[in-house]
Structure 1
Amino acid sequence: MKNKVQEGDVITVVAPYNVTAGDGVQVGAAIFGVACHDAVSGAPLELSLEGVYDIKTLSTDTPAQGAILYWDNTAKQLTTTASTNIKAGVATVAKVAGATVTTALINCIR
């Protein structure tokens, strides 16, 4: 196909803030992915848009397996609260209270 640019599982974006490899990152109003490497704000950043990752999550949230997860771009973590947050994926295993990460399949829903 002549008009295909790339596969799309990893894209290059401009880092919207300083990030560390493995951090969840929101770009604009609708792009969510996981940083493939460290980057400072304004630098090119490879962002993984699919896969299963352990991602920082609100410690008081206890999503069940299959629960929809949202990205809280203010706190820079996953949450079960929709509010003004964007959909980021689903929990692949239940998270216990107090845990700081959720294993999540990202970008499987929109």
Structure 2
Amino acid sequence: MRNHFQPGNALDFVAPAGGVASGKTVKKGGLIHVPSTTAAEGVAYSGDIQGVFIADAATSQAWVQGDTLYWDDTGKVWTKTATNNSKGGIAAYDKLAAEALGKVLLVPTI
């Protein structure tokens, strides 16, 4: 196939103000992703837009595998709260309410 550009599991980005940290979820436009490297502001980096990641999560909620998750770009955590947040993941495994990390399956949306 001559028009195939790349598999699309990861894309190249330019770090926003404040830069990005490897493994910490980032939202840029409509793309929620996990940087594979730490990058200073203005530096190019690769970010995974698909896969299962251990990520910061709201400690006020329990998750059940299959729950729809939303990225809270203000609090920088995954949550089950849809209001004012961006849909972008599914709970890959159960999470207890007290746990600060959860396993999130990134699901690119349009």
TM, length-normalised to structure 1: 0.90
d(CA) in 1 for partners of 2:58 and 2:16?
21
Within-5 A mapping of 1:1-110: 1-17=1-17, 18-28=19-29, 30-107=30-107
Task: Work out whether residues 13 and 47 of structure 2, in 8 Å CA contact, stay in contact via their aligned partners in 1.
Answer: yes
Deviations 1:31-51 (A, max 9, x none): 011110101222212000111
State, as a whole percentage, how many aligned pairs show the same letter. Answer: 31
Runs of 5+ in structure 1 lacking a partner?
A: none
Aligned residues: 109
d(CA) in 2 for partners of 1:108 and 1:44?
21
Runs of 5+ in structure 2 lacking a partner?
A: none
d(CA) in 2 for partners of 1:37 and 1:65?
28
Task: Work out whether residues 56 and 78 of structure 1, in 8 Å CA contact, stay in contact via their aligned partners in 2.
Answer: yes
d(CA) in 1 for partners of 2:107 and 2:20?
19
TM, length-normalised to structure 2: 0.90
Task: Work out whether residues 33 and 107 of structure 1, in 8 Å CA contact, stay in contact via their aligned partners in 2.
Answer: no
72-81 or 11-20: bigger deviation: 11-20
SS at match of 1:104: strand
Deviation at 1:52, TM superposition (A): 0.8
Task: Work out whether residues 37 and 46 of structure 1, in 8 Å CA contact, stay in contact via their aligned partners in 2.
Answer: yes
Seen in structure 2, the aligned counterparts of structure 1 residues 92 and 109 have a Cα distance that, compared at 3 Å, is: farther
